[in-house]
A and B are shown apart, each in its own frame.
Chain A
């Protein structure tokens, strides 16, 4: 199965004002996205995520390297037929109603009139805008604009959906709805590629992630694989006495219980036995692995150290 998105050694630098100085936005990026997966492109602001996305859509031309969608150049109209895109903080035409807006995009996908009507109605329902389709877009709230943008991205049933910061600016309910939509799209067999700096959402739905920092790829792969093996630990809350010699760090909670941090799941069973034997009660056991945020901050920290060293 060939990759939906194939990026090889992508590089893009922007020249500064009046030609003075240059800023490398994307530096030697290589990644590929397989069909049917949810891929998250993560990184702090200014890491080069949006520039990468723009190169995916032929809005920006790379200095060197290749970008392929479905094995074709993004400038190829055929490739763009199979994708849907939602930019960050979208504006749409104020003077159009939701239906007129979606109709325009439907026409650009060469859908017939009846087909357009069917898909527009379906998309509106899917994003939860039923009843508002005849309202002019300038009256929409930010969340509603986001939804109509999503509607536009999916109405023509694309194989690949590209989203730039789809959760930004939404309240928790909105974010939940977007997450659910993305998962539903995956269930339909679509590939989703999105960029974000909200790590919790990415953690919840991504199959694979790539972490970008200052244009360079710092980490890429499945979350489980990326998280350092030493980072899997268990948090055990104990009421009562805790015997000495128990491996792992301990901390006393404000309510008098002790929090034991035990490294590695294997060490859990002996610790529980030891505590119970000492007379303590196990109040809670939480297996944890390094969260995406931890990983993220670790990578960023490492990158900064490298930078300072060089």
Chain B
């Protein structure tokens, strides 16, 4: 357990000292601050703009961090061969992967807290209660956890560029899973339909983790839906991380 913690802490340190992280964070905070001014242009509810932009900032910048820092985590170590000394230590390969993932989650949590916190503050300053946004932010974090898992998985067997492309592709496909429902009604039974079914089941239904619209419009989110969505995201991420561990276990470092 301490091995995972040691790797996680190291990963966190590595990300924290990466200037890219601060750049992304700064832009995100500028967006949140700027939303206040953008909101002045609207007629009607000002808070909607601030909430929309704020949640988008948390989500998009979180995504960028998850992908860019995530894919470099394992790939960079392999490329620069720092992984050799690390694996020569009494640490199992799966602990290495799990530690990297845990470290990445810490970074993402920090991002969600900082940017999310500023969104809550911005909404609060407009005089409205921002707490309805919290469940949506929690699920954004779960969604980021799924994306990060894929980033780690891909980077454990390909180079950073392919891993980044793959992770983005999964993200986009995950958000289009609603179209599979529509497709299924149109495509007749047969090979095409089976492919649809398989893809729909396998790809992460990231749109089901998206409660931003409900949060922004103040719709109450039933606890059952939230719990089911959170469990889904956690299980899915766990499955992908386990897969990454299995892949990494078999990897050779010629």
- Interface, chain A (partner B; CB < 8 A): 14, 51, 54, 57-61, 77-78, 80-81, 83-87, 89-93, 95-96, 100, 104-105, 107-110, 149, 152, 162
Contacts and interface: CB of A to CB of B under 8 A. Distances in A.
Contact of A104 (B6, B18, B252): B6
Interface string B75-111: 0000011101111111110000000000000000000
Contact of B253 (A59, A86, A152): A59
Interface of B: 2-3, 5-7, 9-10, 13-14, 17-18, 80-82, 84-92, 252-254
Contact of B13 (A59, A86, A90, A100): A100
A54 B83 CA distance: 12
Given A91-B82, A93-B82, A105 B13 contact: no
Interface centre among A61, A107, A108 (most CB of B within 10 A): A108
A54 B14 contact: no
B85 A93 contact: no
Interface centre among A78, A81, A104 (most CB of B within 10 A): A104
B2 A107 contact: yes
9 contacts: A57-B84, A58-B87, A90-B81, A90-B82, A93-B14, A95-B13, A110-B3, A110-B90, A162-B88
B6 A108 contact: yes
Given A108-B90, A108-B91, A109-B89, A85 B84 contact: yes
Interface centre among B6, B9, B18 (most CB of A within 10 A): B6
A108 B81 contact: no
B254 A60 contact: yes
Given A60-B254, A152-B85, 20 more contacts: A54-B84, A59-B87, A59-B88, A77-B90, A77-B91, A80-B89, A83-B88, A85-B88, A87-B84, A90-B84, A91-B81, A93-B82, A96-B10, A104-B6, A105-B85, A107-B6, A108-B3, A108-B6, A108-B86, A109-B89
Which 5 interchain pairs have the tightest Cβ spacing?
A107-B6, A85-B88, A95-B17, A81-B90, A108-B89
A57 B82 CA distance: 14
B252 A61 contact: yes
Contacts of A61: 252
B252 A59 contact: yes
Contacts of A162: 88
Given A59-B252, A91-B81, A96-B13, A105 B90 contact: no
B11 to A, nearest CB: 10
Contacts of B81: 87, 89-91
A109 B85 contact: no
A59 B114 CA distance: 39
B54 to A, nearest CB: 31
B252 A80 contact: no
A15 B78 CA distance: 20
B6 A57 contact: no
A85 B86 CA distance: 9
A110 B85 CA distance: 16
